[in-house]
Amino acid sequence: MALSDVLKSLFEQTSKVNLVGYFCVISLFAFVVFHEIQNRDLWGIPGPIIARYTNAWRAWQAWQYATRPNGITYHEVLHNRYGNVVRVGPRTVFINDAEAIPRVLGFKQRLEKSDSIIPFSVPGIHTSLVGIRNEQKHAAYRRPIQGAYSLSSLKAYEPAVDEMINKLADILEKSAQRQSILNISSWCHYFAYDTIMRVTFGHPIGFLENGRDMYNLIENQARHVAYVRIVTQFPKLDYVLKKNPLYLAFKTHKESPFFVFAKSKIKDQLANPESEDATQRTLLSHFLYAKERYPDIVDDTQVRLYCSTNTLAGSLSPSRVLDLICTWLVQNPWAQDRLYEEVRSTGCDFPVPLSATMEMPFLEGVIKESYRLHHGSDIAIERRVPDEGLDLPDGRHLPGHMDAAISSPSMRLNPVYGANPGEYNPERWMRAKGESEEAFYERRAAMDRVDLTFSQGSRACIGKSFTHLELFKVVASLMGQFQFEAVEAPKRFSVPVKILRRDGNITITHRPTEPTPTSRETLAAATPGSPFEARTTTTPPPLPSPPFLLIPGVPNFRDIGGYPLATHPTTTTTSVRRNFIFRSAHPGRITPAGIAQLQALGLTTRYDLRSPAEIEEIRQKYPGVQAVADIPGVANFAVPLYRDENYSPERHAEKYAEVARGDGSEAFAQAYARILEHGGEAFGVVLRHVRDRAEEPFLCHCAIGKDRTGVLVALLLNLR
């Protein structure tokens, strides 16, 4: 019997329902086989079986763990079961390995963002800093407003933050006088939202004045966070739910009251330009200046996009971190006393200046611990693996065109945080009793290397310095004036307290000899669903005088941040940004502690101005010194001013000894003129770094960091 006859007979004897069933089974089998063959390069990576075929599974997990039962995230559950590298989707891997952070998020490879950014993008607009995939495009749109977030600009925003702190202090003062009960959680959010509005537009939006959620911004943002928490796990859902053509065709395009407010403020700014007083500048004025300077990139739509992204992103994390800080302080009165002692020891007035907060180690510990454990969105930081693939620290190779994600919710529990990383313990950020300075620096550097509060690399949050400014100042100012007395057990977004005015004495006497850490389970009970993220950040210190940093084994190490730039009528930034350009002598004797400190500074690149001849001389004469220092994670580029000449300090002195007369100024003038004549190529490399890689801190050095390095720095300080 022919095969066709057999099949015909089979179909005639089988019902249509069964045929459909057979078809589905065969189709499913074919899908599985095809999918396994297509993704055979991921067979060795463990993970749930269903995750091999669909991202829907991890979206479901994100929804199930949205409230963080007992403070646990689904990231932790996965890594505890399957290890540090887990396959969570057809082409997605979660990584819980600190050594993988620079490989995935670092400056070297500059991996593009994955499809996880889709829920953050606006239909038809692809220039949001959050939603741009390509690194070069992101840099092009970030560069025009970089100066608005520099540390020199930051100082100009401090009076605006002071204004909002005074408003909040007045509210707490009235509550203390009336002996009323106040939900401190709500006021934390009101303060954060009004502060970012004040700094962006020049006026608060009315949260503090009215004591309520204006334009439903807080409620709408909470909904958006809940949405992206799930949809970023399965980005195609966003096309179905919010970006499909049918939805957009029938959607009523009505602007929210907030965006109407934002447009009106931009219009007012254009009609009434601000004065040239730097202390009165707003972020909006910087954005409008960027529009003038970069007309091909920044138009009116982009200005509105900068404003909206800044206000929404710049209110979410500070409000939730401040909420967690106050929740923990209410539960730990001894910590309030300790902060009060720290603030009072400075003898400063209120609001506390940012410079004074740099001398408060316990305050720093409280804020850093809250960064690490605050209620985030449980979203891993995903990047698209390049064509050539990506080698992981454990030796495994990830193929190209898949997504590698650093599991930030799990990284918060990294062993570098010491014993019991799930507990809230500010003292882990402080130097322990009996701990050497070198050991402390190494320990802190290790924690900073797994810091994902503001991400890392070129896509690190542009507004992190402002968040530091806001939080350090407000916590210090409130703790120096008030006590928070718990009325009932805190809940999420509900922390009822009585406000007590400090009278100069410590009235809360209970203070344990050894602080009792608060576990994440306790915090989760206080703030159900309180997602903690393993994130910390080094707060920028004030400019030292002189500006030397003590890096073991590296003489003459300095940050040139804070030095004034050459003036120009249209220049808004008047000094060099802190923590960007460093100078030093040759780091050939750098110690492990010194390496840890340089890594903690975020250095990505080192430019060596020495000649090959003098490097070889060091190699021959000083075997105990590294001729070219090896600093892991810091790329070294040889940019010699003199390729065929030994220009060591000794040879330099010999060459110009006969010219020196009197004070030797003529000799140095000739030497420096010669450096300028020969330095074009080398200096050009460094200048292009300043222009094109403004988010990558770098070090430039020669032999002793005086002549060649000094001339280069002089050029940098004369940029206009």
Positions at the binding site for heme: 461
> Nearest CA to 518 among 305, 311, 327?
327
Q: What are phi and psi of 93, to 5 degrees?
A: -125, 130
How far does CA 36 lie from the centroid of its chain?
37
Confirm if 489 and 28 have CB atoms less than 8 A apart: no
Tally of CB atoms within 10 A around 334: 17
Confirm if 59 and 234 have CB atoms less than 8 A apart: yes
Confirm if 671 and 645 have CB atoms less than 8 A apart: no
132 in helix, strand or coil? coil
Q: How many CA atoms lie within 13 A of 568 on its CB side?
A: 12
> Nearest CA to 479 among 375, 608, 337?
337
Confirm if 515 and 334 have CB atoms less than 8 A apart: yes
What letter would DSSP give residue 216?
A: G
Annotated binding-site members: 461
SS (H, E, C) 320-387: HHHHHHHHHHHHCHHHHHHHHHHHHHHCCCCCCCHHHHCCCHHHHHHHHHHHHHCCCCCCCEEEECCC
Residue 181, both tokens: 């009960």
Beta strands, E only, 595-661: 605-608, 635-638
Residue tagged 């406000």 (tokens): 499
In degrees, rounded to 5, the angle at the alpha carbon of residue 29 between the alpha carbons of residues 27 and 30 is 65
> Which amino acid is present at 332?
N
Tally of CB atoms within 10 A around 448: 20
d(CA 281, CA 286): 8
d(CA 503, CA 85): 54
Which distant-in-sequence residues (6+ apart) come within 8 Å of 698 by Cβ?
580, 581, 582, 603, 604, 605, 606, 607, 686, 689
- Length of the chain equals 720
Which distant-in-sequence residues (6+ apart) come within 8 Å of 151 by Cβ?
465, 540, 561, 562, 577, 578, 579
247 in helix, strand or coil? helix
501 in helix, strand or coil? strand
Alpha-carbon dihedral of residues 488, 492, 493, 497, nearest 10 degrees? 20
Which distant-in-sequence residues (6+ apart) come within 8 Å of 373 by Cβ?
324, 412, 424, 520, 523, 530, 532, 533
